[in-house]
A and B are shown apart, each in its own frame.
Chain A
Amino acid sequence: MPVHFGYTISKPRAIDIDHNNLRKSDEILREMPELQTCIGCGACTAVCTAGNLTQFNFRKVHTLVRRGEYQGAYEEMNKCMLCGKCRLVCPRGINTRGVVMLIKRKLGDF
């Protein structure tokens, strides 16, 4: 029987940027250019109030959205409680709550 240490690991997957429609992603980055400075450190996810209670992973969702993977992003972002912890820990000073609301606004129909 496999031992559970309480960690999960994302399955390997390939994203084909050439085939993805980046229009929404471009729009989002135009309104929030600072998101491009994300170094993917995951601090936002480590402190996340919602991520503490469920599988919601803020870094993963906004990274996928930037790569043009919009499926389910709106529902995922809706799990966020907008508490603002992520903004306080982000080493790049990204306006993360703004990112959550922007992604929800842009991807409401995906």
Chain B
Amino acid sequence: MSFYAPFCLPFIIGAVVMFATILWKWGSWLYRLPHADKMRILRGLPTTRTLSAAWEVVRESLLHRRIFRVNPLLGYMHMSLAFGWFLLIAVGWIETVAYLGFRFVPLQGHVFFKYFATGLEHKPVFDFLMDLLLLFVLSGVALAWGKRLYSRAMGMRRTTKHVLGDRIALSALWFIFPARLVAESLTCALYGGGGFLTGSIGAWMAGHIDAGVLIYLESAAWWIYSSCLGLFFVALPFSRYMHIFTEIPLIFLRHYGLRSSEKESAYDHFQIEACSRCGICIDPCQLQSVLQINDVQSVYFLRDRRYHSLRLQTADNCLMCGRCAERCPVGIDLNTLRLNSRDTMRNVPDEKRYDYLQGVDRSSGTGKVGYFAGCMTLLTPRILLAMERIFKASGEEVWWADKEGGVCCGRPLMLSGETDSALKMIQYNTELFRKHGITTLVTSCPICLRVFREEYRLDGIEVLHHSEYLLRLMRSGRLNVTHGAERFTYHDPCELGRGSGIYDEPRAVIEAIGELLEPAETREHALCCGSSVANTAISDGQQLQLARSVAAELDATGASTIVTACPLCKKAIARGTQTEVRDLAEIVAEHLQ
């Protein structure tokens, strides 16, 4: 039995081009990984991480569990295409084995088995199974067509605007399975066999179309099917469908502990090309929903970076709020990638730049507990005063790092891509903390908190956000507050919530004082205040618009006071509402017993 027909050619060429390109891409990315990352992979390979990675591949790359959580219909669409196609290949392979035993069959023999197997006795079980799977995939294709027309049904207000290469690949993909249905049905019409789908359509065709015509149609249909496959395969590595083959190694590498950092690295390619441009990240972006800015969202950022057409404006226009990363079904570390793009585009280290920091020390007081107000708290003196009262009431001896003016924590510089310069600040502040021998560092600014925890080497010094510190004081009985009937609502600052995972402490503090009312979008889904230091692209008016929309959601709870735990959020939201906006420390200080 021969497994070759001229119509196989487009498929074979496409498959060769695709596999060669993918191998070359994987190979060059892996080769260019930093040495430490390569060692991580080698150490991780023989451990159980490999198994858990494999299990995640099944869950995410085939079943798309995370997309199901976004929207069941959308999840079904992705699953039927990915899992259905996978099953068609797997069951198809079993089918050839069942028919021919274990013998070598070239790739096209598996793919076009129906065409070559006409002379064999039929096995109805496989006819049925393969038809069922084809129907499964076709239902996904139908949904994809439907999504073009009406995306809201799948919970998406906006879908991605695609580039030309994507459109070619997408069109080819849409026609692969209908073409397969027609081709297999025509073969069934000529030679019999087939299941409930191809068999019935084939029988109908045999009854209505002249046999001479059928022969021509059959050959044409297989050509079309093979060409669609070939076209899709050639376009795949250069289009968004590269995600199919990139997500798999990405999951393994992630399990071995590889991460993106402030500097670009070869690992980033795995993240960037794993983006399927599903567009799920568009709807949560407030730049889109409030400001109608439509070309900077993560999906477009990744696309531009991948095709080397990233502009500074796009890289800059992001609040780094993390709302998109929270939803991304592939779990791409979107903020870090944007950060290291900014680093590449802007980082101009200047050795002498912060020489003036030498010898500066404006700290005051002594104590094992250090308090770092940060630039933003220094601009909101009420928070500073509240902290002062709290420290006094609890009898804490405090060393004030920067009450009389200090040096920035360095996070704003990092967020702007000036990573190397930020190191000067990190070094300066670290030395300052060490010099004064503190064992606990409290800050009321989540921006500082995050960089202290992630970038500073502060072994031996416990870093606390004031919400954690306040709760600790209250729980240990060193701070007593009065509980009243006042109704509060709480705004989760991005850097504190999604950034540092602190959601419960501020809520516990508020509940000790009054009633807490949650806004519509809260915790992981909380909105950004709009004044993030990460964004230097939007105007003051646009920041105000964002603040108003956030404030409106908080006001809708009916609370008399909006509480937040970030000086910048406080200032930003206060501009958007008449309601009083207070920091956590302020309400605690006001309700001291």
Q: If A79-B354, A83-B375, A84-B375 touch, does A53 touch B540 (CB 8 Å cutoff)?
A: no
Residue B293 interfacial (CB < 8 Å): no
Bound CA span A49–B357, Å: 11
Q: Mark A52-76, 1 if CB is under 8 A from B, else 0.
A: 1110000000000000000000000
Task: Establish whether residues A88 and B418, one from each chain, have CB atoms under 8 Å apart when the complex forms.
Answer: no
Q: Does B528 contact A (CB under 8 A)?
A: no
Q: Report the Cα distance A47→B348, complex, angstroms.
A: 26
Question: Given contacts A49-B375, A49-B407, A81-B407, is CB(A95)–CB(B536) below 8 Å?
Answer: yes
User: Is the Cβ of B356 less than 8 Å from the Cβ of A85?
Assistant: no
The stretch of B141-149, B408-416, B433-441 that contacts the partner chain: B408-416
**Selected contact of A82 from candidates B407, B413, B537, CB within 8 Å:** B413
B47 contacts A by Cβ under 8 Å: no
The contact of B540 among A52, A82, A94, A104, by CB within 8 Å, is A94
> How many Å lie between the Cα of A9 and that of B41 in the bound state?
61
Inside 8 A of A85's CB, which chain B residues have their CB? 375-376, 378-379
B254 on the A face (CB < 8 A): no
Is A22 positioned at the interface, with any CB of B under 8 Å from its CB?
no
| A-side contacts of B379, CB under 8 Å | 47, 85, 88-89
- Cβ of A49 and Cβ of B408 under 8 Å apart? yes
In the assembled complex, A93 has its CB within 8 A of some CB on chain B:
yes
Chain A minimum-CB-distance residue to B539: A95
Report A65 CB to chain B, min CB distance, Å. Answer: 17
Instruction: Tell me whether B412 and A83 are in contact (CB under 8 A).
Output: yes
Chain A residues 24-63 with CB under 8 Å of chain B are 34, 47, 49-50, 52-54
| Chain B residues within an 8 Å CB radius of A79 | 353-354, 356
**Which chain B residues border A53 with CB–CB below 8 Å?**
356-357, 360, 405, 407
Contact B536 A101 (CB under 8 A): yes
Please measure, in the bound complex, the distance between the C-alpha atom of A34 and the C-alpha atom of B541, giving whole angstroms: 11
Number of interface residues of A (CB under 8 A): 27
In the complex, what residues of B have CB within 8 A of residue A101's CB?
A: 346, 416, 536
The chain A residue with its CB closest to the CB of B572 is A88
Q: Which of A49, A87, A104 contacts B348 (CB 8 A)?
A: A104
As a 0/1 sequence over residues 74 to 110 of chain A, the CB contacts with chain B under 8 angstroms (1 = contact) are 0000110111110111100111011001001100100
- In contact, B360 and A34 (Cβ under 8 angstroms): no
B459 within 8 A of A: no
On whether the beta carbons of A98 and B537 are closer than 8 Å, the reply is yes
**B297-311 near A? 1/0 per residue, CB < 8 Å:** 000000000000000
A54 to B540, CA, bound (A): 28
- Give B412 Cβ to nearest chain A Cβ, in Å: 4
CA distance A38 to B214 in the complex (A): 78
Beta-carbon contacts of B523-551 to A below 8 Å, as 1s and 0s? Answer: 00000000101001111110000000000
Q: Contacts of B353 on A, CB cut-off 8 Å?
A: 78-79
B220-275 contacts to A, CB under 8 A, are none
Q: Which residue of A lies closest to B531 (CB)?
A: A88
Q: Which residues of B contact A97 (CB under 8 A)?
A: 412, 416, 533, 536
**Could you say which of A82, A87, A90, A98 has the most chain B C-beta atoms within 10 Å of its C-beta?**
A82
Which residues of chain B are within 8 angstroms of A50 by Cβ–Cβ distance?
356
Question: Which A residues touch B378, using CB under 8 A?
Answer: 49, 85
Look across to chain A and name the residue whose beta carbon is closest to the beta carbon of B378: A85
Shortest CB–CB separation between residue A27 and chain B, in angstroms?
Answer: 15
Given the known interface contacts A47-B379, A49-B407, the answer about A34 and B539 at a Cβ–Cβ threshold of 8 Å is yes
- Enumerate B319-372 residues with CB–CB distance to A below 8 Å: 346, 348, 350, 353-354, 356-357, 360
Bound-state Cα–Cα, A105 to B313, Å = 13
Cβ of B474: which chain A residues have Cβ within 8 Å of it? Answer: none
Asked whether B536 lies within 8 Å of A108 as measured between CB atoms, the reply is: no
CB distance from B45 to the nearest CB of A (A): 42
Chain B residue with Cβ nearest A90: B540
Contact with B along A1-38 (1 / 0, CB 8 A): 00000000000000000000000000000000010000
User: Which of B406, B425, B536 has most chain A Cβ within 10 Å?
Assistant: B536
- In whole angstroms, how far apart are the Cα atoms of A101 and B568 in the complex? 21
Q: B38 in the interface, Cβ–Cβ < 8 Å? A: no
Chain B positions within 8 Å of A89 at CB level: 379
Q: Which residues of A contact B450 (CB under 8 A)?
A: none
9 contacts between A and B (CB under 8 A): A47-B379, A82-B412, A82-B416, A83-B533, A94-B540, A97-B533, A98-B536, A101-B346, A104-B348
B positions within 8 Å CB-CB of A: 346, 348, 350, 353-354, 356-357, 360, 375-376, 378-379, 405-408, 410, 412-413, 416, 418, 425, 531, 533, 536-541, 568, 571
Residues of A near any B CB (own CB < 8 A): 34, 47, 49-50, 52-54, 78-79, 81-85, 87-90, 93-95, 97-98, 101, 104-105, 108
4 tightest A-B CB contacts, nearest first: A93-B540, A83-B375, A81-B408, A52-B405
| Additional A-B contact list (13), CB under 8 Å, known A81-B408, A95-B538, A105-B346 | A47-B379, A49-B408, A81-B412, A82-B416, A85-B376, A85-B378, A90-B540, A97-B412, A98-B536, A101-B346, A101-B416, A104-B348, A108-B348
